[in-house]
Amino acid sequence: MKRRDFIKNASIGAVTTGSVVAPAIVSADTKIKWKMVTTWPKNFPVLGTGANQLADLITEMTDGRIKVKVYGAGELVPAFEVFDAVSRGTAQMGHGAAYYWKGKIEEAQFFSTVPFGMNAQEMTSWLYYGGGLELWRETYEPFGVIPAAAGNTTVQMAGWFNKEINSTKDLKGLKMRIPGLGGEVLKRAGGTPVNLPGGELFTSLKSGAIDATEWVGPYNDLAFGLHKAAKYYYYPGWHEPGTTLEAIINKKSFEALPADLKSIVDNACKIVNQNMTMEYVAKNNTALDTLINKHKVDVRKLPDDVLSKLKELSNDVVSELASKNKAAQKIYDSYNKFYKQVSAWNEISEKIYFNIR
């Protein structure tokens, strides 16, 4: 009995050898309770339910050894305080998007989406096979947070507008909810970017507090009823061609796990990352049909000259971000190298196939 107690205590306590202290490792029969805070409204389709799926997967795959409870935006912490909550250990996990933390880590925006940049398939490939994930984790290391890809919206729509966009002149003075690098591009074009959580979009658009908003795509936009608050629905989503959503994990909490639970958490994120991408591809189709044929939404393509100007400004914004510090330059160089390589392949594979099919 003494030997058994000794082993049990050793497995849950810190082991000290000289000046080196190993992290406390939980025993195999310990039940762990984690909180996951998100930037999304509670149970919101795909985004919120994707976070729920991640929590359920971890609980199921660990046979209840880790039980994760999900909190929607504002339930435990406000939407844009998720990163800080996980960093402090208020919550062990979070689910959101890296561009929401640009005020804290400006270069983190590369890990969410880049205007006119890589799509969902390309972004995931860069993260897992092009060195992106290693750079991402290096970027969050000082904050005691470990990131993982946990969803992708695929190519988004340009957004909902209450004024027509016929030329670049119509962008001047446009007050639009648009986060990340896309917001900076709009600002260079003469507009006013506003960062609002999803739960405030409908009211802000309906009341006239903003002139336009982007959100995600037909499925999520229909769920929010944005077609009831704006006249025009523009495409393509130049600003978010494949937005990676992230799970963030408190480093101390993760390192306290035994190897098998670490592997489960990591692989659960990969499953959700893939599932969310597929769900958007499947459900955006029927939602767009509903918006057009049932609600008679006016769907329009942004004029070519507008897209050309936005692309020109995007190149400037991204280059300037890369030059701000060594870390940003390192991430940009990796991103850009992979982007050029994968684009060359897609020119004779994906792109040509889409054109001929």
Query: Would you give per-residue pLDDT tens digits along the chain (357 residues)?
Result: 444 443 344 443 333 333 344 445 555 567 999 999 999 999 999 999 999 999 999 999 999 999 999 999 999 999 999 999 999 999 999 999 999 999 999 999 999 999 999 999 999 999 999 999 999 999 999 999 999 999 999 999 999 999 999 999 999 999 999 999 999 999 999 999 998 998 899 999 999 999 999 999 999 999 999 999 999 999 999 999 999 999 999 999 999 999 999 999 999 999 999 999 999 999 999 999 999 999 999 999 999 999 999 999 999 999 999 999 999 999 999 999 999 999 999 999 999 999 999
- Is the separation of the CB atoms in 61 and 17 below 8 Å? no
Residue 68: CA atoms inside 13 Å, Cβ hemisphere, count?
28
How far, in Å, are 153, 240, 352 from residue 317 at the CA level? 22, 14, 29
**Cα 64 versus chain centre, distance:** 27
Whole-model pTM: value is 0.88
Cα dihedral 329/333/335/340 (nearest 10): 150
351 residue type, one letter:
K
Give the integer Cα–Cα distance in Å for 292 and 309. Answer: 28
- CB-based contacts of 254, cutoff 8 Å, min separation 6: 146, 262, 265
> CB of 71 within 8 A of CB of 60?
no
